[in-house]
Amino acid sequence: HPDDNERIWQGLLDGTIPVIATDHAPHTLEEKDQPYPKSPSGLPAVENSLALLLNEVNGGRCSLQQVVRWMCEAPADVWKIHNKGRIQEGYDADLVLVDLTREHTVRNAEQVTKSGWSPWDGETLTGLPVRTLVGGVTVFNDGEFNEEFRGAEATFRQ
């Protein structure tokens, strides 16, 4: 609902909502087509979440620094994830490089997750993650995955 979206944006911008995260529920359309309550909740969002926010940066709704805070720093702070969330000495070299000018149309056929669809199918976004490093190792580069690399479990402080 548009009013809900505006309230969420208001909460993000005024600091009431400190974190943007997704549970990423990669259910197939066949699973989602079941009648309630058999149809699972949630939607596949993690694959497109950063590009959606970069599009908002390009539209002037928020800054890149705010996106970094919401998606990197704040989650690491809230869940006390050791050595994550910042580019800083002593922190893991986990980075996402973005191209703020690259346009990309979200297509169901191009989704990598097992769901095979996106609620943003057909949307053209400006701004795209182009390279991902985990622990300083490139794991994604311009559409290609490093299939030899697997991540490790994050350490949470109690």
**Residuewise pLDDT in 10s, the chain (158 residues):** 779 999 999 999 999 999 999 888 999 999 999 999 999 999 999 999 999 999 999 999 999 999 999 999 999 999 999 899 999 999 999 999 999 999 999 999 999 988 999 999 999 999 999 999 999 999 999 999 999 987 777 777 76
Please, are residues 50 and 71 in contact by the beta-carbon 8 Å criterion? yes
Structure-block tokens of residue 103: 């346009």
DSSP-derived 3-state class of residue 135: coil
The Cα–Cα gap between 30 and 117 comes to 11
Question: Which segments within the chain are labelled E, that is strand?
Answer: 95-105, 124-134, 137-141, 144-145
CA 149 to chain centre: 20
Residue with token string 């697997």: 150
What is 2-145's CATH topology? TIM Barrel (3.20.20)
Active site residues: 23
Give the residue ranges of DSSP H helices in 1-158.
2-14, 29-32, 46-58, 64-68, 74-78
Report d(CA 103, CA 150) in Å as an integer. Answer: 29
Distance, in Å, from the CA atom of 31 to the CA atom of 114, rounded to the nearest integer, reads 12
* Number of CB atoms found within 10 A of residue 62's CB: 17
| Residue 47: predicted pLDDT | 93
CA–CA separation, 77 and 117 (whole Å): 31
Residues 6 or more apart whose Cβ sits within 8 Å of residue 78: 18, 19
